[in-house]
Amino acid sequence: MNPCHVCEEPTKNKCSNCNQVSYCSVQHQKQDWKRHKPSCHPFKIDHNEQLGRHLVATRTIKPYEIVLKEAPLVRGPAQISAPVCLGCLNGIEAEDHIECEQCGWPLCGPECKSLDEHKAECRLTKDRGQKVNVQEFGGPHPLYTCLSTVRCLLIGETSPEKASKFQELESLESTRRGSNQWKADLVSIGQFIPKFFKTQKFTEEEIMKAVGALQINGHEVPTTDPSHVAVFYTASFTENSCLPNLAKSFNKNGHCILWAPHEIKKNAHLSICYSDAVWGTADRQRHLMQTKLFKCACDRCVDVTELDTNYSAIKCEDRQCGGLMLPTKADDWNGSWRCRECHKQVQKHYVERILERAGKDIQSMEKNVENGLKYLKHYEKWLPPQHFHMSEIKILLVQLLAKDQKELMVIPDDRLLLKLNYARELVELYEKLTPCEVRTLGTLCFELHSAIAEQTRRVALETSLSPKDRLEESLFYVDKCVNYLQYESDIFIEGHMLKQARINRDALRMVTRIS
């Protein structure tokens, strides 16, 4: 028995959504809803010494359920950024912008001048006694390096409640201090802000702590062009896992949406991937250590086979063997590698030479079908079919082999089959390895659905056989596409794909019912 949240009478009844607050009656639950709504989530914030604060599911979370929708505490330009409008954060051109009459910072138009987000740096710059004069617009601009930090420092002037929440976030200042990144940030931000803005409002320690909090908790938000960085309070307490149970989407306002592509059991820890889940383990580990200052020990990271996909493996140096080479120790990707068949060992520099060359060839390659196929043929000598470099090229080929419906209807049969087989292989791989990479999975499912539908159309023209089974398979994958992309805004390509997928799904449902 727990006390009712309104009258404190003992009751067994709890809020069915969060499973944390009790009510003695429906009337009291309705009466308390306005107060309870902001904190009514299917999770609680827990704490232990190893993880610090983290989120734990308070009930079973259903597939496709939104777990959290949250506006940012603060947002601003990325640390490396060309000039952007300090209102909407979209890119601006030298010949197409206005200057704020108060501070001189470039804006894309008068409607952005009065936005609350610009007011903090506007006042600070005005107090400086001299307007900003931005002349170069063609690339990263040093003045923008500090602006998101400035917004973090001044958040209390616009919202004391947000400032209080921001102060709770981890900055790892003591861990970062003295590192090469910390030293670079000290010069470009910590020492630059007082000097440029001619202010003593902030101590060096306050500035560097804000820098750390921004880097540790910041999310890249792609709702602007270029992407900006934002800090979300509750979302900051999600754990990292390279095999997470939450997907992350953004609405057109830049609000974060965390949702469950699959069922999450009660008492499970809620997680997202702080890195890029489609990278191999060595790259993810390196990125996490450089940006978040920890080494991941999730189920995927401690398994060198990456769930038996051999996503980071290379082929044995002995061409007669046919085995695959992976790190000798699961926790040391910089040590020796050993073949799992003949047990031959090579040093890391042998592996690095192959992967570095393979990566550079992707970067420098003109992206077309013929070059993609040549790449796969060339690197099959060293890399297995599901290696992350090979998979990257296959994703490219799935999208390039018929880029729209018109091309799909005339593509040769062998190329259509190639598109279909690569898409099917990639969906199977990434549903196992990266089940929350919903944009990648949604796109692949759409491409696979389209290829199956087109192949079915061709078969139906040539035979009298019923295509119902194949149409149902096409419907199966377009249904998956809709589920994966359902929270994608129409400001993204995936959002437009979602609209088309829904149209195709409804048409296929009608056809399969008639067949």
C-alpha–C-alpha distance, residues 5 and 335, integer Å: 57
- pLDDT for residue 116 is more than 90: no
- pLDDT for residue 117 is more than 90: no
Which residues constitute the domain of residue 123? Answer: 74-231
The residue out of 180, 209, 231 marking a domain boundary is 231
* Residues 121/103, Cβ–Cβ less than 8 Å: yes
> Is residue 85 included in any domain, yes or no?
yes
* Residues 176/293, Cβ–Cβ less than 8 Å: yes
- pLDDT for residue 178 is more than 70: yes
Residues contacting 127, CB < 8 A, separation 6+:
197, 198, 199
One domain for residues 118 and 203 = yes
> Is residue 483 included in any domain, yes or no?
yes
> Is residue 31 included in any domain, yes or no?
yes
Q: Which residue has the higher pLDDT, 26 or 132?
A: 132
The residue out of 341, 366, 399 marking a domain boundary is 399
Composition of the chain by helix, strand, coil, percent to 5: 45, 15, 40
- pLDDT for residue 434 is more than 70: yes
- pLDDT for residue 515 is more than 80: no
One domain for residues 466 and 362 = no
Buried b (16+ CB within 10 A) or exposed e, 190-201: bebbeebbeeee
In this predicted structure, what is the pLDDT of residue 31? 85
Residue 469 Cα to chain centre, angstroms: 35
Structure token digits, residue 351? 């592996």
- What's the whole-number average pLDDT of the chain? 94
In this predicted structure, what is the pLDDT of residue 160? 92
One domain for residues 111 and 140 = yes
In this predicted structure, what is the pLDDT of residue 46? 95
Q: Which residue has the higher pLDDT, 218 or 458?
A: 218
C-alpha–C-alpha distance, residues 358 and 456, integer Å: 36
> Is residue 243 included in any domain, yes or no?
no
Single-letter code of the amino acid located at 285: Q
> Is residue 123 included in any domain, yes or no?
yes
C-alpha–C-alpha distance, residues 114 and 414, integer Å: 57
For 418-462, the DSSP string reads HHHHHHHHHHHHHHHH-TT-HHHHHHHHHHHHHHHHHHHHHHHHH
One domain for residues 344 and 487 = no
Read off the pLDDT of each residue in 449-472 and give the average, rounded to a whole number.
85
In this predicted structure, what is the pLDDT of residue 490? 95
In this predicted structure, what is the pLDDT of residue 120? 86
Q: Around Cβ 115, how many Cβ atoms within 10 Å? A: 15
* Residues 246/238, Cβ–Cβ less than 8 Å: yes
Q: Tell me the three state secondary structure of residue 326.
A: strand
One domain for residues 141 and 197 = yes
One domain for residues 84 and 123 = yes
pTM of the model: 0.93
One domain for residues 430 and 503 = yes
Q: Which residue has the tokens 């051109």?
A: 93
Number of Cα atoms under 13 Å in the Cβ half of residue 219:
28
In this predicted structure, what is the pLDDT of residue 220? 97
One domain for residues 311 and 387 = yes
C-alpha–C-alpha distance, residues 506 and 101, integer Å: 53
Instruction: Mean pLDDT check: name the lowest of 20-29, 42-51, 319-328, 357-366.
Output: 20-29
Read off the pLDDT of each residue in 252-278 and give the average, rounded to a whole number.
97
For 194-215, the DSSP string reads HHHHT--SS-HHHHHHHHHHHH
pLDDT tens-digit profile of 328-364?
998 899 999 999 999 999 999 999 999 999 999 999 9
In this predicted structure, what is the pLDDT of residue 11? 87
The residue out of 201, 231, 261 marking a domain boundary is 231
Structure token digits, residue 20? 């944390």
In this predicted structure, what is the pLDDT of residue 463? 65
In this predicted structure, what is the pLDDT of residue 325? 97
* Residues 147/86, Cβ–Cβ less than 8 Å: yes
Structure token digits, residue 425? 């292989």
> Is residue 256 included in any domain, yes or no?
no
- pLDDT for residue 175 is more than 80: yes
C-alpha–C-alpha distance, residues 480 and 467, integer Å: 20
- pLDDT for residue 80 is more than 90: yes
One domain for residues 381 and 415 = no
- pLDDT for residue 445 is more than 90: yes
Instruction: Mean pLDDT check: name the lowest of 7-11, 200-204, 302-306, 368-372.
Output: 7-11
Structure token digits, residue 217? 């908790």
Q: Residue 464: which pLDDT band, with cuts at 50, 70 and 90?
A: low
How much of the chain, in percent, has pLDDT values that exceed 90?
83
Instruction: Mean pLDDT check: name the lowest of 20-29, 159-168, 242-251.
Output: 20-29
In this predicted structure, what is the pLDDT of residue 369? 97
Instruction: Mean pLDDT check: name the lowest of 108-112, 139-143, 191-195, 200-204.
Output: 108-112
One domain for residues 26 and 126 = no
Structure token digits, residue 82? 């060309």
- pLDDT for residue 462 is more than 80: no
> Is residue 245 included in any domain, yes or no?
no
In this predicted structure, what is the pLDDT of residue 172? 93
Q: Which residue has the tokens 């085995």?
A: 323
Single-letter code of the amino acid located at 217: N
C-alpha–C-alpha distance, residues 431 and 441, integer Å: 7
324-329 sheet: strands from edge to edge: 314-315, 324-329, 332-339, 345-346
One domain for residues 218 and 108 = yes
Domains of the chain: total: 4
> Is residue 378 included in any domain, yes or no?
yes
- CB-count burial class (<10 Å; 0-12, 13-18, 19+) for 38: exposed
One domain for residues 171 and 227 = yes
C-alpha–C-alpha distance, residues 106 and 98, integer Å: 6
